[in-house]
Amino acid sequence: MNSDLAWGLLYALLGVVGAVVVGAVIIMSVRRWARSEPAGQEMTLQNLRDLKARGEITELEYERMRDRLAGVRHAPRAGQSGGRPDAGRAPPPAGN
């Protein structure tokens, strides 16, 4: 009887582990799918140039999108804290 209980617990544990693995694979697949661009909607530099030429985006939007395509990151501009109230401020002097 003790052996039957041990096998039952082992099968239950394997079932739980299997369900967790399957769930993790599904979650990873859904996240990857959600981050991917829809087919036929891939943004290219030529698309950006066309949008700017038609006046659908501003020069600043064009530059930001172009840099995003190239993988360039921008620092917050002067006066923009990036959500942190102390951003851009010098730290207090040491020892005071």
Q: Note the pLDDT of residue 88.
A: 55
Distance CA 18, CA 24 (A): 10
**Distance, CA of 49 to CA of 6 (rounded, Å):** 67
What is the CB-side half-sphere exposure of residue 52 using CA atoms within 13 A?
15
The per-residue pLDDT for 95 is: 65
Residue 91 has a pLDDT of 64
Helices (H), ranges, 2-58: 2-35, 45-53
Query: In order along the chain (96 residues), what is the average pLDDT of each group of 10 residues?
Result: 86 95 93 69 83 92 89 64 54 65
Rounded CA-CA distance 18/10 in Å is: 12
pTM, rounded to two decimals = 0.38
If we measure between CA atoms, which residue out of 80, 74, 44 comes closest to residue 60? 74
